[in-house]
Amino acid sequence: MSLPLEGLSAVVTGAGRGLGRAEALELARLGAAVVVNDFGQPGRDGSGEASAAPAEEVAAEIRAAGGKALSHTGDVADFRQAGELIRLAIAEFGKLDVLVNNAGILRDRMVFSMTEEEWDSVIRVHLKGHFNTTHFAAAHWRERSKAAGGAVYGRIVNTSSEAFLAGSAGQPNYAAAKGGIVGLTTSTALALAKYGVTANAICPRARTRMTEDVFAGLERLEGGLDPLAPEHVAPLVGYLASPAAARVNGQLLVVHGGMVAVVERPRVAAKFDSKQDTFTYDELDALLTAHYAQHPAGETFAAAEVLGLKRG
């Protein structure tokens, strides 16, 4: 029986632990040859000495199960090293078909206490890291499409967060980066659709090294799979990487514990027209103050509350 990703190659960033590891294993289980990327720093804040061990251990696990995999320990937030990662996949497997961007760090702080370095470092790893690999993968697919005279196969799965959807008071850098990733995803989806490439983003909730304090009060269930296990997220990534998801493009999906929710793009909740050439202060006061008296701003998060979304 053929596997849905058989004959395809994939790059998964931040794949030495947690979500990335589960995603790399799932893509390999579905038949893909995988380049496992991880910078290997032990601290969730990006601290500590880099190590090749996490990436190589996952690659070895895939090979031991009969799959094809190799490791890469470069920093995807470095433009040159991100290019080397994509070129490695192409050189080893002949082409790149799937890119899963997952690498990230945390530097949590309230906005009034956050340092410039804490802001820059999180934006660099999450948002710039997503852009770097996407840039080189997109150039590869565009070049292949021109050579083929038509569409090629390409899938991008980016990692956003519920911190972007519902807000996260102590994570202004992380929430901003994750919001930026959604913008990058939708722009990329529009730009690459004509080449046969799709780009989507997920908001996963899982118990990992990065979220250990967030879910510290939620105990693991006795027996069965932990509702917050990364393995609940990996199947959606496998699906989005597959031919079956050809019509899924520019989408944002929330996933955790056996649930997948498709998030709509923002919709206009109310519209007001000025009775003059332009609004006056008094007119805006009369219209908007009355509107928010009837519809408090907190109702903006009603959809998030229905989904049970919290910081993550």
* pLDDT tens, position by position, 167-200: 889 999 999 999 999 999 999 999 999 999 999 9
Residue 268 has pLDDT above 70, yes or no: yes
- Cα dihedral 2, 250, 141, 120 sign: negative
Identified catalytic residue from 145, 174, 195, 242: 174
Q: Structure pTM?
A: 0.88
> How far apart are the C-alpha atoms of 264 and 203, rounded to whole Å?
13
So what's the pLDDT on residue 52?
78
Cβ atoms within 10 A of the Cβ of 217, count?
6
Q: Quick one: average pLDDT of 52-72?
A: 96
So what's the pLDDT on residue 168?
85
Within a domain: residue 57? Answer: yes
So what's the pLDDT on residue 44?
54
Element (H, E) at 12: strand 9-12
Within a domain: residue 148? Answer: yes
Within a domain: residue 259? Answer: yes
So what's the pLDDT on residue 40?
76
So what's the pLDDT on residue 23?
97
Name the pLDDT band for 166 (thresholds 50, 70, 90). Answer: confident
Within a domain: residue 312? Answer: no
So what's the pLDDT on residue 258?
86
Residue 307 has pLDDT above 50, yes or no: no
**Contact present, 260 and 199 (Cβ < 8 Å):** no
Residue 308 has pLDDT above 70, yes or no: no
Strand partners, 81: none
User: For 276-287, what is each residue's pLDDT tens digit?
Assistant: 999 999 999 999
Within a domain: residue 309? Answer: no
Identified catalytic residue from 9, 121, 161, 168: 161
Q: What is the DSSP letter of 165?
A: H
pLDDT-above-90 percentage for the chain: 74
Identified catalytic residue from 121, 160, 178, 195: 178
So what's the pLDDT on residue 48?
58
> How far apart are the C-alpha atoms of 155 and 218, rounded to whole Å?
34
Q: Which domain CATH number covers 249?
A: 3.40.50.720
Catalytic residue flag (residue 153): no
Q: Residue 310: exposed, middle, or buried by beta-carbon count in 10 A (0-12, 13-18, 19+)?
A: middle
Residue 310 has pLDDT above 50, yes or no: no
Catalytic residue flag (residue 174): yes
Domain region containing 217: 9-263
| Summary mean pLDDT of the chain | 89
Catalytic residue flag (residue 274): no
Question: How many domains, the chain?
Answer: 1
Rg (CA), the chain: 21
Within a domain: residue 19? Answer: yes
Residue 62 has pLDDT above 80, yes or no: yes
Within a domain: residue 293? Answer: no
Within a domain: residue 90? Answer: yes
